Amino acid sequence: MARAVTNRRKFIATLLAWTVAMLLFFPILWTFLTSFKTEAEAIASPPSFLFFDWTFENYSTVQERSNYARHFWNSVVISVGSTLLGLLVAVPAAWAMAFVPGKRTKDVLMWMLSTKMLPPVGVLIPIYLLFKQFGLLDTRTGMVIVLMLINLPIIVWMLYTYFKEIPGEILEAARMDGASLRDEIIHVLTPMAVPGIASTLLLNVILAWNEAFWTLNLTAAKAAPLTAFIASYSSPEGLFYAKLSAASTMAIAPIMILGWFSQKQLVRGLTFGAVK
């Protein structure tokens, strides 16, 4: 009997998981399908699911109308750049908090995280003015800086969790062996934390890639990444659902492929430290 209950439970859990997964995936699937419809079919009611005239017209139009390659390159530079810069700042910070914690370390960590709870729009005007002042508007440098700052709390938190798992005695052994702080971080800590650093890197590239608020508000043409590329198709000029979908598909495809191949690291990264 126990076996039957287990099986039924398993079935329900599986069904539930698939339902949730499909619910989450459906908008992406719909976008993907719509990108192959004509504009008329895209807004047809009732909508057709699979049986419509498949066309690549939207993709060629999008290619003609905008410079995908430039947006793509901007996205790569901004997401990878902000993540690397973030790591450079976060590794020493996380080291300090994990291995030489003070009385207020926990508070500092919480305070860092609390900045993520601030609605970004609340600081849009000051940041916009600062960017204007320093000539950072619509520059990739500016975007790298702002996205690094936005994601820094997450990078620090993730690295902190990884570093916490590394026994302090190993670092003390390195110190006894004559390693300077720099040697300790380069030869001992970083190689040991490579899996953690890799998943932090990955997650932050994805977050930065998908970030839309700052990229839309602080870029115009030169530094506009793929988010701006998508947004340019949701315009008041008219209904361009099919083209918008084609642009979206092109924008999210690279990061989805990256995410697909690195799911293991991502899951490990996000659950690391939860189970010993």
Nearest distance in Å: CB 180, another protein: 8
Is 185 an interacting residue with respect to another protein (CB under 8 A)?
A: no
Question: Considering only 23-31, 148-156, 166-174, 252-260, which stretch makes contact with another protein by CB under 8 A?
Answer: 166-174
Is 176 an interacting residue with respect to another protein (CB under 8 A)?
A: yes
Question: Considering only 32-40, 83-91, 167-175, 221-229, which stretch makes contact with another protein by CB under 8 A?
Answer: 167-175
Nearest distance in Å: CB 176, another protein: 5
Is 165 an interacting residue with respect to another protein (CB under 8 A)?
A: no
**If binding means CB under 8 A, how many residues of this protein chain bind another protein?**
18
Nearest distance in Å: CB 269, another protein: 18
Is 70 an interacting residue with respect to another protein (CB under 8 A)?
A: no
Choose among 170, 167, 164, 159: nearest CA to 195.
159
What residue type is 26 in one-letter code? Answer: F
Choose among 232, 225, 187: nearest CA to 82.
225
Is 258 an interacting residue with respect to another protein (CB under 8 A)?
A: no
Is 174 an interacting residue with respect to another protein (CB under 8 A)?
A: yes
Nearest distance in Å: CB 79, another protein: 28
- Name the residues that contact another protein, by CB under 8 A: 167, 169-170, 172-180, 183, 187-188, 191-192, 194
